[in-house]
Amino acid sequence: MSTTTVDHPFHIHVNPFWLSRVDVPIADGSLVNILTEPRWLDVTWLPRNRGRAVFRSRFTDYVGEYVNHCHILKHEDNGMMQLVEVVASAADSNYVARFKVTQSNMSTAQVTAIYPRVSLAEAFSQSGSFVDTNSGTGQVFPGFDIPG
């Protein structure tokens, strides 16, 4: 997730996540990881200006629904909230697995190869509305109107 205007305090319910990176843009636009070491959290800041937070989460003892959202109420009320369902079997999910995952010791280029950065225009649009990148659902979440 990325934004161009303000950092977002991102919160996930039910389960903590293993935050491995917080990449912030520097003056030339490249990203620098400012997280000194990975840690378990349930809230992290999503950096503005095409920055990113990279995390993983496992649900070893939970099946059901939960939400993740921005802790800025106006953002949450305008679409920065998502309902997630944890299912008992991978066969019951609509998840599209990646062949690689990030590690805390990876370079920014290695992480970007797995999670490509979006353009500034795409980052602005993503900040205003959310589109499920899983091509099987085509779900679009409500947000701010973005001129085409």
What distance in Å separates the CA atoms of residue 125 and residue 143, rounded to the nearest whole number? 9
pLDDT of residue 22: 92
The mean pLDDT value for 126-139 works out to 52
pLDDT of residue 146: 46
C-alpha to C-alpha distances, 2 to 24, 29, 123, nearest whole angstrom: 10, 14, 6
Output the average pLDDT for the chain: 77
Nearest to 104 by CA among 47, 24, 56, 37: 37
Classify each residue of 44-76 as buried b or exposed e, where b means 16 or more C-beta atoms within 10 Å of its C-beta. Answer: bebbbbbbbbbbebeeeeeeeeeebbbeeeebe
The mean pLDDT value for 128-144 works out to 50
Q: Contact at 8 Å (CB) between 13 and 66? A: yes
Q: Contact at 8 Å (CB) between 120 and 130? A: no
Output the pTM of the full model: 0.63
E strands within the chain? Answer: 8-12, 17-25, 31-33, 39-41, 43-46, 52-56, 64-70, 81-86, 130-131, 140-141
Asked whether the predicted pLDDT for residue 34 surpasses 90, the reply is yes
pLDDT of residue 82: 84
pLDDT of residue 128: 54
pLDDT of residue 40: 92
Cα of first residue to Cα of last residue in the chain, in angstroms, is 20
pLDDT of residue 55: 87
